[in-house]
Structure 1
Amino acid sequence: MNAQSAVSSGTWHLLALDLPPEVYGAPAHPKGMAQPWGRWALSLIPADSPASRPETSADTATQVPVRAWIGRGPSVVSWGPTIEFAGTLEAASADYRAWAASLDVDEGVRPFIRALGAFNYSDLSGKLEVPTLALWGQPYLETYLLWHDSRADEAAALISAAKSAGPVPHLAGPQAQWQEAGASLPGTEWQQQVAQAISAMRAGQAQKVVLSRDVFWQADRPVPVEQVLAALVGHDDHEGQDASAWAFAVGDLVGASPEILAQVHEGRFFARILAGTRPAGRGKELWQDPKELAEHEAARASVIRRLESAGISEILAPPARLLKLPQVEHLQSEVSGHCEGRDVAQLAAHFHPTAAICGQPTVAAAALIKQLEGMDRGAFAGPVGWMDPAGDGQFNIALRCAQVPESSLRSPQKWRLLAGAGIMPSSVPANEFSETGTKMGTMRSALGID
């Protein structure tokens, strides 16, 4: 546990902010939408203010990290120092929950002392971070400012800014010029590895394997994370439709993941499974493609098989549907059930890795990934999300994202874009390469890469 003693001994404060309905996308959407709220909250991030850490000067202000989670349900935008709990997902969760339970705070404040986390694909190592200053947007047009004594001056400035909130401001996207800066495996070599995976599966070594690749991009100037996030939430979800994705800046990841690994709310479990991909506008083709249908069924079946062993009852698993996203369209399946007594971190760890990001059987697919992929995924395809002291929360699979090598910086110049594809015995390497390029389009667009 890495909770700082100064923070542990101070006081936490919570204030409900009275904001105009335009901040939530109302009145057209009376329940509110996360994207307008996110753009408003991101616009409040100070461009040049120093961090609260005593050793940080104005010259290093751009190193104040931004943390965000923006989508359906609770959303957060924060910046500056955090309280960290490192370890595996379950270990970090246990430490965080024990720490939160020990705090001497009003019971109305405690549920908002939430943690954000990103964990590595390979071993679920990582950390949970509790922001010491955070704007939390709640469904049904509510916003709360949470802060610790150590951030009192910044909180006062935010409260003043909130009182003058008007129309949702426009936050410009990145204006950098970009140059491709290599990859862990060149495209031709990656396709050769895909061909080897296909041969291995045809020989009976596995039924499906997911292979990922990366591309590095170098900007000619620092790229503020808040500008990238603003671009990622530039399209509004509409009331009554599927939430397209959850934009995030957590750990060393920035992206917009559409796939829910585990969501827990008041004893109910929910997951969204995605497998089978076409470029935007061509999703209907998926229903006629045996390879894509088989890939989706493998991912769906792997999750459903684990439901009972996860202690989930009253299971609902309706037929697959089509999910339309700005860059791609997917086959999606949703599963839900009763999970009393299980927290979101436990369930996320139980279901990771799914067939959608590893393959099937898991052990055989993992061995092929280790042999053929040619890179370290880091937190890509690992759990990313948030949780509260009661164990409720949501972890998505970290997809449609980039890693920032300078993970402590707020405005990095080098970005590592990643994407994967589900390889089946009937796959065509060139098609899988093209699919990963399409999936990278989400981050290319947000970064302004032509």
Structure 2
Amino acid sequence: MEQIRHLVTELPGPKARQLMERQQAAVAHGVSTLMPTFAVRAQDGIVEDVDGNRLIDLAAGIAVTSVGASAPKVVEAVQQQVSEFTHTCFMVTPYEGYVAVAEKLAEITPVAGPVRSALFNSGAEAVENAVKIARSFTGKQAVAAFDHAYHGRTSLTMSLTAKSMPYKHSFGPFAPEVYRVPGSYPFRDQLDGHQAAARAIEQLELHIGADNLAAVIMEPIQGEGGFIVPAPGFLKEIVQWCRENGVVFIADEVQTGFARTGRWFASEYEEVEPDIITTAKGIAGGMPLSAVTGRAEIMDAAHPGGLGGTYGGNPVACAAALGSMETIEERSLNQAALGIEKLVRTRLEAAQESDPRIGDIRGRGAMLAFELVDPETKSADAALTSAVATAARSAGVITLTCGSYGNVIRLLPPLTISDELLTEGLTVILEALADA
């Protein structure tokens, strides 16, 4: 596919408008969509819609298609597996692909010693099972999450998620024995890592108690909360406290994993060793797959039959994961992510010098964001953020927002995007900001 942004109609075009009418009639209104169009093809940095418009992809399906939406090795692996069999259920008649994915995860996951994995379908499902495993291992029930956290949309993971609208509003009651403590948000709390960790640990000890706490769960970079990178040392002190108090530390790497930040996992930047890592999104090049990977003694605490599911570790998704991880290695996509970071930071920092509405620029690798604020008060400017994102989408750039205050524009391009497309996409967004 030609890697050029090209609009042949306004968005939405005539075919997209027809599909929107069908969507309104057939799809539950709680399933909302951002782009005013419908995709038919995608490759590297371009998504083509039903009207023939080619759009620059700065979302990668929310960090899923990191290796590209139609990476050759993923496509080949999927086609081969589909021709052999699509399903047997690993718990009934197992197959090599599941084992091979678990072996590869053991090789790349930053957990020392013997490592085990269990495979599931979604990030939320991985988080749910990680909590189950931690509770089984410790014999304790309480779980602590952090301010600005996002861990999923199921009952338990909604409880762990911090943001009410749209994720929790009207969907209660929520799961018991879930607690929230303050994390580290350097731009807003102005605390260093030690200060933020001391505040969090005080709350853990005061309101929960280590004797009751099965697990602490945290995203090494908080995604939906605003791409918040904790202050240096924060995560290390939290993990150390967990080690000293018999608490399982779960790193939720659903959005940060698989080369997204320039390393296999964002935990590696913090020089910490989680007990359990949850992954999904970028693991399988767009096929539904997730994993819980951790220290063998913890992972093996659940009794036989206690983990699993009909579709968990589906053979087609496992084949895609092996193709995706091979692509990451062969195409040096960790290095590609670092190249994306350098290009994006250079553009955003130059823009920030002349536009004080860009309050903060943060992230790692190809997981980057900028926070829009009132220049005088530094208060969140969600209206400006929405206007910029809407204008960029109308101009043919797939743009996402996030943040607890709705004022962060996040950039999650495929790691295979060209510098030219990335530069053009940034230009569209920054021009939209200038015009807003």
TM-score, structure 1 as length reference:
0.26
Higher percent of residues as strand: 1
TM-score, structure 2 as length reference:
0.26
